[in-house]
Amino acid sequence: MQYFVVMIDYGRRGREEVVDPEITRREVVSRVVSGEYSNISFIHEIVDSSVEDVTEAILIEAALPQVPPEDIDLQAIGLDHARDLRKHERT
């Protein structure tokens, strides 16, 4: 049997442990991305009788891609802004 344990820390209000044998790794990542799981203390993957801390791996998997500044087309952004200004001048 395989399942995930997600420990969420609410500060002074305490902690909550989310354990659902039906949830998959993909669903855990999805819930981290959506913000449903935030302030995560740890995520453990339980397989049979072994426990593995997969917190870092899940958080890396859920991270939004970082776009380097040189990949952003600043000229296109400027042209889009100029077009929007012209559109508002006409009305």
Has residue 90 got a pLDDT over 80?
A: no
More confident residue, 82 or 75: 82
How far is Cα 17 from Cα 90, in angstroms, rounded to an integer? 57
**Domain residue ranges in the chain:** 2-66
Instruction: Rounding to the nearest 10 degrees, give the CA dihedral for residues 72, 73, 79, 85.
Output: 0
Task: Retrieve residue 8's tokens.
Answer: 């969420």
Report the chain's mean pLDDT, rounded to a whole number: 85
Helix, strand, coil shares of the chain, percent, nearest 5, are 45, 25, 25
Environment class of 28 (CB within 10 Å of its CB; exposed 0-12, middle 13-18, buried 19+): buried
State CA 3 to chain mean position distance.
Answer: 19
The string of pLDDT tens digits covering residues 19-60 is 989 999 999 999 999 889 988 999 999 999 899 999 999 999
More confident residue, 5 or 81: 5
